[in-house]
């Protein structure tokens, strides 16, 4: 990898220069004058403060940095505006924003996000360690303080339940940790039943992380009231979890010593409930974090990134300084990095945001990352280097046939009559689904009338077995013959198709295959597409173009009757078998019980040879 334009050297390599600058024996490279400093350690707002920077790190914080200034020093006059640490996203999947790390940096740096802890398990499920390394290399050449986590669940459960493009085990986890200290930990351990019941592969991966002195992140969706299971999960060393949807979830995790990550993605609106652990129950906030998890490109434009999440927390009654702590120092401490990031203090990286107006507005006017001004007035001003993806990443949809409408015919166990099916009911602004038993009409040995439901298919696209899983979904809202197809189908990212008309499902599916990944909506209005050729997940195009394409997909869905908030983000999770209650993969319907994962039939009365995996 070429030398970074935004170097982040170890503190030990800078102490002489920082020391000399703080004394005034060397000139600062950058000085910010007359700011209201948001001190996230003391919880104070300190007026009339100066900050002197030497290179990429802070040398001096105090009332007068004049002694550090000479003719070479760049001076920024804050004019009494607020100066806060750069915002940190403590749990984020860049791929879910459908843009590459470089474009992600272009999108979020103007919003004040100067660092993140990225779990690239989406691309890893497609390309294996090659994909993870590509994300790691690209993210590190941006101005962001980019820390990557090794994908823990590739696949998210086992090959009994889904087919993906790669497999990660303890050996691969150990290898990834040799790439550098910024490979910060083990990503969310989604196979929580496997951990609780002692799965050797999952425990082996956690062991490798702990031996490498790395942190382990969680993903636990069982009720916190079963304290034996939650304790068994936490006892393995999993010390943080973002699957908190209630204040009870937050309280249970904090009481067991974990960090509770409160999520406000595009379509996962969990902060309003989870923050009540503080606003109503009064828990200490030191182990509470604000995160995004997944943000669509259009929501990055329409709403923002961590700045938006902080504003949202403030709107729920959290004092501004505490809300900022939840996206700065708390996050840094969770990952053991508070000597580098999360605070404006001597020795730390010069990652800062200058805020216009009231602190409650969180209106980012300027972003400084690694001691350089990288964004002003909501525009990137730093030149970011290019990054090229290999052919293997751009040709990852291995379906070599023309998909036909007949592939979406659902055969029934009776020739004629009405039967109950297990339908997946989507929930707006929630990651979870419900299992609903709904009657459908069968004729000539197949489901002939959807009765308001949509068909769903998951076609294996990695060139492994050619599986197709078929199911039914409620709550989509299509009011005309319409379909959506996409290779963004968490987490195995097979080709997922949802529709009310077989012919349009086939048309949408073929369009995605021809694009080598992406999204296609087919309706009475025609076809709307968004190419995502990087692993079938991301585009290298400027994020503004991808955001416009994402908005066009949303508009096409809404015109066909699917009017959920950021509908695509919710639909993209319907193949993620590790989230309750029921999902569809290429192997069929999978649901989570208190005992673990199990496969179930589409028809309620029909039995299959299913086994529960613990």
What is the per-residue pLDDT for 150?
98
- 99 within 8 A of 364, measured Cβ to Cβ: no
Helical H segments across 2-149, by residue range:
15-23, 101-108, 121-127, 129-140
> Which of these, 142, 146, 38, 183, lies nearest to 372 by C-alpha position?
142
Radius of gyration, alpha carbons of the chain: 25
Alpha-carbon span 88 to 83, nearest angstrom: 15
Averaged pLDDT for residues 506-526: 98
Tell me the per-residue pLDDT of 137-148, one tens digit each, with 9 for 90 and over. Answer: 999 999 999 999
Q: Which two tokens stand for residue 550?
A: 């994402």
* 613: pLDDT strictly greater than 70: no
What mean pLDDT, rounded, does the chain reach? 95
What is the per-residue pLDDT for 160?
87
**% of the chain surpassing 70 pLDDT:** 98
Give the CATH fold of the 87-339 domain: TIM Barrel (3.20.20)
Alpha-carbon span 514 to 508, nearest angstrom: 10
Residues of the chain with CATH 3.20.20.140: 87-339
Tell me the per-residue pLDDT of 374-406, one tens digit each, with 9 for 90 and over. Answer: 999 999 999 999 999 999 999 999 999 999 999
Alpha carbon of 224 to those of 217, 247, 347: distances in Å?
17, 11, 40
Averaged pLDDT for residues 246-263: 98
* 121: pLDDT strictly greater than 90: yes
* 457: pLDDT strictly greater than 70: yes
Tell me the per-residue pLDDT of 138-194, one tens digit each, with 9 for 90 and over. Answer: 999 999 999 999 999 898 888 889 999 999 999 999 999 999 999 999 999 999 999
Angle among Cα 369, 371, 374 to the nearest 5 degrees reads 45
pTM: 0.95
Q: Which two tokens stand for residue 447?
A: 């489901």
Averaged pLDDT for residues 569-574: 95
Tell me the per-residue pLDDT of 335-370, one tens digit each, with 9 for 90 and over. Answer: 999 999 999 999 999 999 999 999 999 999 999 999
Averaged pLDDT for residues 533-555: 98
Reported confidence tier of residue 607, pLDDT bands at 50, 70, 90: low
Tell me the per-residue pLDDT of 256-285, one tens digit each, with 9 for 90 and over. Answer: 999 999 999 998 899 999 999 999 999 999
- 543 within 8 A of 106, measured Cβ to Cβ: yes
């Amino acid at each position: 990898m070429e030398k970074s334009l935004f170097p982040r050297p170890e503190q030990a390599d800078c102490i002489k220069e920082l020391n000399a600058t703080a004394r005034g024996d060397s000139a600062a490279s950058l000085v910010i004058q007359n700011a209201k400093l948001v001190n996230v350690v003391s919880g104070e707002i300190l007026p009339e403060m100066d900050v002197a920077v030497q290179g990429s790190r802070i040398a001096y914080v105090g009332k007068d940095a004049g002694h550090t200034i000479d003719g070479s020093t760049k001076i920024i006059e804050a004019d009494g505006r607020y100066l806060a640490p750069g915002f940190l996203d403590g749990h984020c999947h860049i791929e879910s924003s459908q843009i590459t790390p470089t474009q992600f940096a272009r999108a979020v740096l103007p919003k004040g996000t100067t660092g993140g802890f990225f779990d690239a398990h989406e691309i890893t499920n497609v390309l294996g360690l090659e994909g993870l390394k590509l994300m790691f290399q690209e993210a590190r050449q941006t101005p962001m303080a980019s820390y990557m986590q090794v994908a823990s669940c590739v696949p998210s459960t086992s090959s009994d339940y889904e087919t993906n493009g790669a497999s990660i085990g303890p050996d691969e986890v150990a290898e990834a940790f040799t790439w550098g200290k910024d490979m910060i930990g083990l990503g969310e351990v989604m196979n929580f039943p496997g951990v609780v019941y002692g799965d050797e592969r999952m425990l082996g991966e956690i062991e490798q992380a702990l031996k490498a002195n790395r942190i382990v992140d969680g993903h636990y969706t069982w009720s916190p009231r079963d304290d034996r299971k939650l304790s068994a999960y936490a006892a393995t060393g999993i010390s943080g979890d973002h699957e908190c949807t209630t204040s009870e979830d937050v309280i249970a995790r904090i009481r067991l010593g974990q960090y509770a990550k409160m999520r406000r993605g595009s379509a996962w609106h969990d902060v309003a409930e989870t923050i009540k652990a503080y606003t109503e129950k009064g828990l200490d906030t030191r182990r509470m974090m604000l995160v995004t998890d997944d943000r669509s490109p259009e929501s990055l434009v329409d709403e923002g990134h961590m700045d938006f999440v902080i504003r949202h927390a403030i709107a729920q009654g959290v004092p501004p300084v505490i809300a900022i702590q939840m996206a700065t120092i708390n996050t840094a401490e969770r990952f053991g990095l508070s000597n580098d990031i999360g605070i404006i203090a001597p020795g730390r990286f010069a990652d800062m945001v200058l805020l216009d107006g009231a602190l409650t507005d969180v209106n980012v006017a300027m972003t400084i990352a690694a001691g350089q001004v990288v964004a002003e007035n909501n525009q990137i001003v730093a030149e970011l280097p290019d990054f090229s993806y290999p052919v293997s990443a751009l040709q990852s949809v291995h379906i070599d046939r023309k998909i036909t409408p007949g592939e979406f015919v659902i055969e029934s166990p009776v020739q004629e009559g009405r039967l109950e099916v297990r339908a997946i009911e989507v929930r707006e602004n929630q990651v979870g689904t419900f299992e609903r038993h709904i009657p459908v009409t069968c004729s000539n040995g197949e489901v002939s009338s959807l009765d308001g439901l949509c068909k769903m298919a998951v076609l294996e696209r990695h060139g492994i077995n050619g599986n197709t899983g078929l199911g039914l979904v409620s709550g989509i809202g299509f009011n005309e013959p319409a379909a959506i197809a996409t290779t963004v189908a968490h987490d195995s990212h097979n080709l997922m198709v949802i529709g009310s008309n077989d012919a349009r499902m086939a048309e949408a599916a073929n369009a995605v295959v021809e694009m080598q990944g992406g999204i296609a909506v087919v309706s009475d209005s025609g076809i709307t597409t968004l190419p995502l050729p990087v692993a079938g997940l991301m585009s290298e195009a400027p994020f503004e173009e991808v955001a416009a394409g994402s908005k066009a997909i949303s508009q096409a869905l809404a015109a066909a009757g699917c009017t959920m908030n950021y509908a695509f983000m919710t639909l993209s999770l319907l193949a993620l078998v590790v989230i309750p209650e029921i999902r569809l993969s290429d192997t069929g319907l999978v649901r989570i019980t208190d005992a673990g994962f199990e496969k179930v039939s589409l028809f309620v009365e029909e039995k299959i040879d299913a086994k529960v995996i613990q």
